Chain A
Amino acid sequence: MSDSVDSRLSGKKWILIGIGVLVLVAVWWAFRPEKLWVNVKVNEPAPSGASADLQPLYTGLMIGRAHPTSGRASIYQTLDGKRDLRLTDFMTSNGPDVHVLLAQSTDENLKKDFVKHELNSVELGGLKANQGDQTYDLPDSADLSKYDAVVVYCERFHVVFGLAKLEKF
């Protein structure tokens, strides 16, 4: 008698264990928790020709400050290591003595009017045009890990027309 109760109990136990295992497998399959520790790394090459002789290093969108400004600022590296700033779909208002500068996006000066020498910046030249695609040479010394913002700055009135925060391409 007690034997059969035992065997029934152990039979139930096995069923419970079986169900438990099934539940565990289902939970494992659904959540795949081991993936928290397992990384899958890939390293495919860029689409053919994308990195031909002009490699984009950084890019960002222009945001208007004192004047509506829009477009994209990108920094390219040519095969010989020279770097250019290129503005595309660019538009700002025209103005007197407008310059393109590299600055640090965290610079407090950028939040207010400032005189140019107060800003830690790299001068890239006078703004060539207030509309359209244009390219500016970057000095070899410009450290892009430090200067991460392109600023369109009106020197006469000490105002920022617009700026773009650069991010790694």
Chain B
Amino acid sequence: MFPKIKLALAFVLLTVAFGSQLRVSAQESTKSDNKAKTLATGTFHGKVHQTSGRATIYQQADGKLVLRLTNFKTSNGPDVHVILVAAKDADDDANFLKSDTARTELGKLKGNEGDQNYEIPAGTDLAKFQTVSIYCERFNANFGAAPLEKF
């Protein structure tokens, strides 16, 4: 009887000491409510065409989704577009035409350097389109890709 109680006591003490079975949950909010909400973000990778920078998706107060590229740099090229692809990520040699990966066109790349915004068509499912690609349509070349993660 006594050994059992001792054992139980020891277990309780251990649990308290290590606290490993207890879950503490916090839910602090950001100090201010931004008008535009940051939904997802990720960084570009691309070696063949040296692409770098960050891609972030914002939701504006009116509900519209906007893709914003910051610290962005890629090589210039002909017929370069910004697209969302239904994939977790994309390699340098990804050819979205051949692989018939679902894509959403966001428009022509406005500049190969600098901060820029692109409207995302209403109804685009961000759970499906998880990667931003800088895509040269003329040569079906993926200049760079940014896999997005929840912000």
A, B bound: yes
Does B110 count as interface, using CB distance less than 8 angstroms?
yes
Q: Flag if B29 contacts A44 (CB, 8 Å).
A: no
Q: Flag if B111 contacts A89 (CB, 8 Å).
A: no
Does B18 count as interface, using CB distance less than 8 angstroms?
yes
Q: Flag if B78 contacts A40 (CB, 8 Å).
A: no
A54-B31 contact in complex given A44-B116, A131-B26, C-beta closer than 8 Å = yes
Interface of chain B residues 109 through 140 with chain A (CB within 8 A): 110-117, 138
Name the B residues within 8 Å of A129 (CB-CB). 24-26
User: With A and B bound together, what is the CA distance between A133 and B29 in angstroms?
Assistant: 7
Residues of chain B having any CB pair with chain A under 8 Å: 17-32, 34-36, 38, 41, 43, 54, 56, 58, 60-61, 66, 68, 70-71, 75-78, 110-117, 138, 149-151
Q: Flag if A35 contacts B60 (CB, 8 Å).
A: no
Q: Flag if A48 contacts B60 (CB, 8 Å).
A: yes
Does A81 count as interface, using CB distance less than 8 angstroms?
no
A169-B34 contact in complex given A40-B112, A42-B113, A96-B18, C-beta closer than 8 Å = no
* Residue in A closest to B71 when the chains form the complex, CB atoms: A168
Distance in angstroms from B67 CB to nearest chain A CB is: 10
Name the A residues within 8 Å of B36 (CB-CB). 46-50
Interface of chain A residues 20 through 77 with chain B (CB within 8 A): 29-32, 35-36, 38-50, 52-54, 56, 59, 61, 72, 74, 76
Q: Flag if A135 contacts B28 (CB, 8 Å).
A: yes
* Residue in A closest to B59 when the chains form the complex, CB atoms: A47
Binary flags per residue of A72-110, CB closer than 8 Å to B gives 1, else 0: 101010100000101011000111100000000000000
User: With A and B bound together, what is the CA distance between A49 and B149 in angstroms?
Assistant: 21
Name the A residues within 8 Å of B27 (CB-CB). 132-133
Name the B residues within 8 Å of A61 (CB-CB). 149
Q: Flag if A72 contacts B26 (CB, 8 Å).
A: no
A-B contact pairs, 19 of them (CB 8 A): A32-B77, A35-B77, A39-B111, A39-B112, A40-B110, A42-B115, A43-B114, A46-B117, A49-B60, A50-B36, A54-B34, A72-B151, A76-B30, A84-B31, A86-B30, A96-B18, A129-B24, A132-B26, A132-B28
Distance in angstroms from B149 CB to nearest chain A CB is: 6
- Given A41-B114, A54-B32, 6 more contacts at CB 8 Å? A29-B78, A41-B112, A54-B34, A131-B23, A168-B54, A169-B41
* Residue in B closest to A82 when the chains form the complex, CB atoms: B31
